[in-house]
Structure formats: structure tokens, C-alpha cells
Amino acid sequence: MDQTTDHNQPTLSVVILCYRAGESTRDFVQKMIAVLQKDGINDYELVLVGNYHQGSNDTTPQVVQALASQNPRITTVAMPKQGMMGWDMRSGLDKANGIYITVIDGDGQMPVEDVTKVYQKITAENLDLVKTIRIVRGDGAWRKFISYVYNTFFKILFPGLNATDINAKPKILRRESLLQMKLTANDWFIDAEIMIQARRLKLRIGEVPTNFLGLTGRKSFVKPHAILEFVSNLVRYRFKEWVSK
């Protein structure tokens, strides 16, 4: 992440992961802007991440660039993909300039109102990181099972963290907290990597409850092999921490 700031630095950067969202990105962005304005958050920027696979028919890059051309508060990242969700998130975080930086998926699974909820909590309680915790889930039995496995293994290997539901978004961090992290994950492990490093840095963490909506009209990008991939990443990361001590 670029460590430089300027006098035009926004208070809040909202990184929106728009992979293959296409035209639905327009509606999501409109809702996000309306919620920010309704809640009195006027000093913000939106970072739309529309990275794409070369040769695909994904229209998302063109959509996010068109939105940016119409609104000076919007900036974009639209590059040929060199990784999956983790790489997309890191490319968006690198582009963000805000004092506080939050990240949310742009596929409609998460209520846009959650962005203002985590922002209000981190500022009101002087925290370093705030995330949601999914109290109600609308994403089906399979995703619930994956989440249960994720969180169980995480608690076993990384005890003592004052947080649960590690993959839940939006997450918001102070810029200085994010700059202390060395994020490398290119895949779904990026959320866990953030929380592992938050544990190591002893960050002050808060959570807000949310109703997770789940996907409508699109299939999940999380495949069965994601469980094995996630668990192996946890074990590898745990071993790396032991060795580094």
C-alpha cells in the first residue's frame, strides 16, 4: 500500500470488489452513495475493483471505468487478473487513500448499510479494526458448513482473538493499522490473513451483527476444494508464526 497522503485525503475509502458483477455494479454503487449520504458521510471515495480474466466476456471493467468517468469520487482498478479474490482485494487496498479503509463485496450479498455501521463503530469506539458477524445467513447449508469449518480450525490454531466469523465483510481498518500488515494472499485466505495479522499486532477489534443476504441470480465462486485450501493455508501460516518466534 502507498504510504503517502495529501491534503485531499478522504476520511473513508470504500473498496468494492466487483469481479464479474457487470451491469449490477451500477445499482450497487448508487445504493452505496445513497447510504453514505443519508448517514452524513460526505468525505469519501469509492474504489471499484473490476479486475478480469483476459479473453473473457466480462463487462465489469468497462462498467467501473464508465462510473469513474461520471463521478470524481470514484476511482478504479481494472487489470488482467494475476490471482483470485485476495489479489483483487490487495489491488483495491493499494489504491485506497482514506484515513479509514473498508472493503465489501459488490455482489449484493452484504447490505450496503453495513459500511456505515462498521465506520461509525470504529470511529466512535476508537478501534483499529471492525467487521461484521453474520447472525442470520441466507446463503444456504453448504456455505454455512464451510464457514463453520473455517472458524473452527481458526479458533484451534489461532486462539485468543477477540472476533469470530473471520471471513465476514465489510471489514474496516485504520490506515496505519493496514500499513502494518504484510498481506500476501491471492485467494480466499485474504480475510483470514487480515485477522491473523490483527491478532499478531494486538489490534483493538470490534464487531457488528448483520443479516447476510446471500447470492441471488449468481452461483457462488467458493468451490468444495476451498475447504482444503483454507485449512492448509491456516496450518502453513501457523507453522510460519511458530518458526518466526
pLDDT tens for each residue of 151-181? 998 999 999 998 999 999 999 999 999 999 9
Instruction: Give me the torsion for CA of 93, 148, 197, 17, rounded to 10°.
Output: 0
Q: Report the C-alpha gap between 203 and 161 in whole angstroms.
A: 10
Kindly give the interhelix angle for 225-244 and 140-157, rounded to the nearest 10 degrees.
Answer: 10
Contact, 212 vs 139, CB < 8 A?
Answer: yes
Peptide bond between residue 170 and the one before it cis (omega within 30 degrees of 0): yes
> Which cell numbers hold the place of 198?
490483527
Q: Give me the mean pLDDT over the 78-82 stretch.
A: 96
Amino acid in the structure at residue 169: K
Mean pLDDT across the chain: 90
Distances (CA, A) of 96 to 5, 74, 150: 10, 11, 28
Q: What is the pLDDT at residue 233?
A: 87
The CATH number of the structural domain formed by 12-244 is: 3.90.550.10
Q: Report the C-alpha gap between 147 and 153 in whole angstroms.
A: 10
Q: Report the C-alpha gap between 173 and 175 in whole angstroms.
A: 6
Does residue 113 carry a pLDDT above 60? yes
pLDDT grade, residue 5 (50/70/90)? very low
